[in-house]
Amino acid sequence: MDQIVKIYNKVAPEISKVYKQQSHIIGIDNFCKTLKPGSRILDLGCGMGKDISIFSAKGFEAVGVDGSVGMIKQARRRYPNEKFFVMDVRRLKLPDSYFDAVWSWSVLTHLSNQDKKTVLTEVNRVLKKNGTFSQMVWRGRGLFINKDVYPRSHYLLSTSSWRKLYDETGFVDLETKIIKSRRRDSLRLTAKKLFPQAP
């Protein structure tokens, strides 16, 4: 994970210029419809903060965290009134059972399988009971190197492997949906927190 953080720190200014950030509006709208007004949302790996601004505009209490100092700097510049923090997603400095929902877009796909499990355990910890975790990852299996603008490693899992990780980290009612794309298909995973993890 440290390597991917270094890459994003280095290229954050270029990403800001090259990418017109999409809001993933269909996914966000469906996600928000499941939440009560004023719910607390954590955007895990918030990047340049576009999704946080959408959550806030819908009346939610939103917090964004990212391991990249460069990306958080861009987020704070773009959305100065929002809450952004530099934070290792494997070790969240956030209180237990605090958030109603956690949202993540193409973050865990960069992590090793062990780190994926560690992050899921942390997400479970910061979620309230029956809280929702929704994430989007690239679909596939094995190592994939994305070289579109800058090289990034993606460690892809099958749906059954994801389901096993969710089961092991205290989540239930996992729903999966394949998102078709000309570039590469994605997989949306949404689940509920069942129980707190044992110490």
Enumerate the domain spans of the chain.
2-19+30-193
What pTM did the predictor assign? 0.83
pLDDT tens for each residue of 20-46: 555 456 689 999 999 999 999 999 999
CATH number of 2-19+30-193: 3.40.50.150
In terms of Cα–Cα distance, which of 152, 138, 142, 143 is closest to 188?
A: 138
The percentage of residues in the chain with a pLDDT greater than 90, rounded to a whole number, is 64
Q: With 50 as the cut, is the pLDDT of residue 109 above it?
A: yes
Beta strands in 13-141 (DSSP E): 40-44, 61-66, 83-86, 99-105, 127-138
What contacts 90, CB < 8 A, 6 or more positions away? 1, 115, 118, 119, 122
CB atoms inside a 10 Å sphere around CB 77: 11
Q: Which of 18-22, 60-64, 83-87, 134-138 has the lowest mean pLDDT?
A: 18-22
* DSSP string computed for 143-179: EEEE-SSS-EEEEE--HHHHHHHHHHTTEEEEEEEEE
